[in-house]
Amino acid sequence: MSTHMHDAGSGILQAAVMWQMMMIGMMTPVAAPWLRTAFMFSEAHSAYERFSRTVMFAGGYFVVWAAYSGVAAGTQVALHNAHLLGEEGALQRPLAGTLLIVAGLFQFSPLKRACLTHCRNPLTWFLARWRNGPPGLFRMGMSHGVYCVACCWALMATAFALGVMNLAWMGVLMFAACAEQILPWGKGVAVFVGAGLVGWGVRLVLLSP
């Protein structure tokens, strides 16, 4: 019994580390404009102090994505134990198609639009919410992290449909998240991505044996 629990705990830990590394790789380009803005707003007498305060903001952001990674890792292990994941960590075709449809429809939701509007406007948010001092900056980082996770969780969850070890798909997700949040026509990109995911998901469901 204890050996089984140890193996399960080890599996979740390994999966959590893997998810966290993927999240860092995919979300760093998205977070870059926010980190630059935090550095610019930080009131300090030296570049070192401004950098350290920016790190506090990044730390709060990181904590929220670490929590998401933990949930994703637990989900991955549960799906694996239920024999619903293939060798490459992808869901069986009907479930994969359903997940893609859900993720695609989320792209059209009011929550997605609200969170994407937030994520595209760091300057406006910092002007309204700025707090000096490390604790305030850490809380600001967590607050932004919640918006960011709410904006991107469905896109990231599509990794279960294509395979959690599919590096090519991770690259596509990183590009999609960056395009949504950084490019001038990002909101149109979000709609295009949503339509593509829904169409792809429907195709997988209809072609399932």
Torsion sign, CA atoms 194, 178, 141, 71: positive
How much helix, strand and coil, in percent to the nearest 5, is found in the chain? 85, 0, 15
- 38-42, 45-49, 196-200, 205-209: which range is least confident on average? 45-49
Q: What is the pLDDT of residues 149-195, one digit of tens each?
A: 999 999 999 999 998 878 899 899 999 999 999 999 999 999 999 99
Torsion sign, CA atoms 59, 63, 69, 73: positive
- Is the pLDDT reported for residue 4 higher than 80? no
- Structure-model confidence comparison of residues 14 and 146, the more confident one: 146
pLDDT category at 117 given cuts 50, 70, 90 is very high
Give the 3-state secondary structure of residue 91: strand
The structural domains of the chain, with segments of one domain joined by +, span: 2-207
pLDDT category at 80 given cuts 50, 70, 90 is confident
- Is the pLDDT reported for residue 12 higher than 50? yes
Give the 3-state secondary structure of residue 119: helix
pLDDT at position 7 is 46
Q: Mean pLDDT over all residues of the chain?
A: 88
pLDDT at position 47 is 78
- Distant-in-sequence, close-in-space partners of 174: CB < 8 Å, separation ≥ 6: 25, 26, 29
- pTM, to two decimals: 0.87
Torsion sign, CA atoms 17, 33, 141, 55: positive
pLDDT at position 6 is 41
Q: How much of the chain exceeds pLDDT 90, in percent?
A: 59
Q: What is the pLDDT of residues 16-66, one digit of tens each?
A: 888 988 888 888 999 999 999 988 887 666 777 888 888 999 999 999 999
The stretches of the chain forming alpha helices (DSSP H) are 2-41, 47-81, 93-106, 110-119, 122-129, 134-157, 159-162, 167-182, 186-207
